[in-house]
Chains A and B, each alone.
Chain A
Amino acid sequence: AQKITQTQPGMFVQEKEAVTLDCTYDTSDPSYGLFWYKQPSSGEMIFLIYQGSYDQQNATEGRYSLNFQKARKSANLVISASQLGDSAMYFCAMREGVGSGGYQKVTFGTGTKLQVIP
């Protein structure tokens, strides 16, 4: 089974509208973390937002919020008031487990390409 599933290969949104990017995850570890990254065409992965599995509140960072539904194992990213500069690939990622040396594996989804239309 895929650890991280992003079912939307591509999305369009009108400028100034809100958009939700879907992410579901699969883990049996009670302690895990969920991340969203943005990757513009330049290639750099930009950290957007983090949600811990024990966090009671949904994470928010400016125009980004994470709709965390633990029972459904979903961690959707909501971008409010879309801007042209939001056009990029968006990756959901999960950190889980503890390997050797304290490393917790981070697994990325396949991404969603968001295009903001003027």
Chain B
Amino acid sequence: DTGVSQDPRHKITKRGQNVTFRCDPISEHNRLYWYRQTLGQGPEFLTYFQNEAQLEKSRLLSDRFSAERPKGSFSTLEIQRTEQGDSAMYLCASSLKEGRLAGPDTQYFGPGTRLTVL
């Protein structure tokens, strides 16, 4: 399978605990994105990497959230001191953008990690 993978698929944690999610993008893709999706809503952008550089962060990404992509391949999203409001589906996507040519830059999504904070 050469699609985007995410681990774990489900995570239940107690308020105040730290959690970390992993995303493995499609291997040749240089761009990686994290989104959060709550019930009844579309995905909301959290952050974006081009190779290993984190180039864009949403205001939704509070200081309790941190994301890394250390070698330009897989990425991790850590949430510290989780709150009940962090309960959501966390989606990772990747895309391939070459040069400055216009194009779809289509994002391909993983299956998501569903976080429940008790």
Q: Which residues of A line the B interface, CB within 8 A? A: 4, 31, 33, 35, 37, 42-47, 50, 52, 54, 91, 93, 95, 99-111
Do residues B41 and A106 form an inter-chain contact, with CB atoms below 8 A?
A: no
Chain B residue, CB-CB nearest to A89: B42
Q: Which residues of B line the A interface, CB within 8 A? A: 33, 40-45, 48, 50, 53, 55-56, 89, 91, 93, 97, 102, 104-112, 114
The 8 Å CB contact of A37, one of B102, B109, B110, B111, is B109
Do residues A111 and B50 form an inter-chain contact, with CB atoms below 8 A?
A: no
Interface-centre pick from B41, B42, B112 (highest chain A CB count, 10 A): B42
Cβ–Cβ < 8 Å partners of A101 in chain B: 48, 50, 53, 55-56
Cβ–Cβ < 8 Å partners of B102 in chain A: 31, 52, 54
Chain B residue, CB-CB nearest to A111: B42
B40 to chain A, nearest CB (A): 7
